[in-house]
Amino acid sequence: MKAVHITGYGEFEKNLEFKDVEKPEISEKEILIAVKAVSLNPIDYKIVKGNLKELLQLDLPAGIAYDVSGEVVETGSAVENFKEGDAVFGRVPQEYMGTLAEFVKVDPGVMAHKPENVTFEKAASLPLVGLTAIQSLEKVNLKEGDRILIHAGSGGVGSFAIQYAKEKGAIVYTTTSSSNLDWVKALGADRVIDYKNEDYKQVANDLDIVFDTLGDDYTFEAFGIIKEGGKVTSIAGPPDEESASQMGIPDYELPGKLEDLKKQKSADYKFTWMQPDAGQLKEIKTMIEERSIRPVVDLIYSYEDSIKAFEYLAKGHAQGKVIISLQEKYNTGN
């Protein structure tokens, strides 16, 4: 079968290789999926660049990518919830990394049936960003009436989080660039802040929650705009104690600056190390089919243009998700 493998760390052109490899063989508890589409996420290009090699010890060459949608073509004898021909989507765990391939095997416990009203390409855009947004906002108990700032509203996680927060009845502020203002506002945000021309710290304040998707100074600045007893939930800042344990970091303590900021505001700080979750995928499926949330896809690349897809995503200008389709209709690059 065809697959894209990471062979080393650094430039995409030199370290991503198109290969012909053996089709996976499944156990009695696994399913085999014929891949229709794959979504790329920042973690994928960061792995290739070598940014995560201390955290993720890979035996190279290795498959790449986690998000997938496709059709079940084989089921193990102990599998009960899926059958051949089922359309599915999901984010595979680390041990199954390598969805950018013609076939992928996976534990069915992390998969769900695909939303019926969207294409495989749009379905592939949903798992990681949807699970990340839901888990991050559930950790801080987002509820109706909460005032929340979601950074980077035009990104994959941000664009889903805006819609999810509005579905929960929150009052949503978000940041984006001038060129994205209109379409980000169309996602439902109550106040879209043009970070190139406005200081978000002057516009959004006394907030219940800040969703930090950017890290660095944004993590620390969040404590200046939440109310007393407010909450900061992050996917880009330092881990908290719970997520550090999940990541295998022993004897971890929250950085002193962050601990001080928490105490000054009597605030809560959470970090999300996203975990595959079939139950939450089913929740996403329902919201997509009820049209309370819509997938946000920027560009769809053919399998042959996979390296170009990595290069585009790494530039940081994507409006929503970048998809690689393995369906024939995209094999001309359309």
CATH classification of the domain holding 252: 3.40.50.720
pLDDT of residue 333: 38
Report how far residue 221's alpha carbon sits from residue 226's, in angstroms, rounded to the nearest whole number. 9
Q: What average pLDDT is seen over the chain?
A: 95
Residues 6+ apart with CB under 8 A from 202: none
Least confident of 164-168, 171-175, 264-268, 313-317: 313-317
State how far Cα 191 lies from the chain centre: 23
Average pLDDT over residues 290-317: 95
Residues 47 and 78 in one domain: yes
Give the start-end residues of each E strand in the chain: 2-6, 16-20, 31-40, 62-63, 67-75, 87-91, 103-106, 111-113, 147-150, 171-176, 191-194, 207-212, 226-234, 268-271, 297-302, 321-325
pLDDT of residue 331: 47
pLDDT of residue 330: 54
**Domain assignment of residue 288, yes or no:** no
Residues 116 and 143 in one domain: no
**Domain assignment of residue 133, yes or no:** yes
Report how far residue 119's alpha carbon sits from residue 71's, in angstroms, rounded to the nearest whole number. 12
Residues 121 and 163 in one domain: no
Residues listed for the chain = 334
pLDDT of residue 329: 64
Tell whether the model's pLDDT for residue 304 goes beyond 80: yes
**Domain assignment of residue 276, yes or no:** no
Buried b (16+ CB within 10 A) or exposed e, 140-172: bebeeebbbbbbbbbbbbbbbbbbbbbebebbb
| 38 secondary structure, DSSP code | E
Q: In the structure encoding, which two tokens stand for residue 146, read together?
A: 């909460």
Residues 299 and 212 in one domain: no
**Domain assignment of residue 46, yes or no:** yes
**Domain assignment of residue 286, yes or no:** no
CB 114 within 8 A of CB 120: yes
Average pLDDT over residues 76-94: 97
**Domain assignment of residue 198, yes or no:** yes
List pLDDT tens digits, range 270-281.
999 999 999 999
In the chain, the number of structural domains is 2
CB 70 within 8 A of CB 120: yes
Tell whether the model's pLDDT for residue 154 goes beyond 90: yes
Residues 267 and 300 in one domain: no
Residues 305 and 261 in one domain: no
Model confidence at 246, pLDDT cuts 50, 70, 90, reads: confident
Cα distances from 293 to residues 144, 174, 325, in angstroms, run 17, 17, 22
Q: What is the CA radius of gyration of the chain?
A: 20
Q: In the structure encoding, which two tokens stand for residue 161, read together?
A: 């989080």
Tell whether the model's pLDDT for residue 133 goes beyond 80: yes
**Domain assignment of residue 151, yes or no:** yes
Residues 38 and 88 in one domain: yes
Cα distances from 302 to residues 118, 124, 258, 330, in angstroms, run 18, 14, 43, 5
**Domain assignment of residue 80, yes or no:** yes
Model confidence at 31, pLDDT cuts 50, 70, 90, reads: very high
List pLDDT tens digits, range 204-215.
999 999 999 999
Domain housing 304: 2-126+295-330
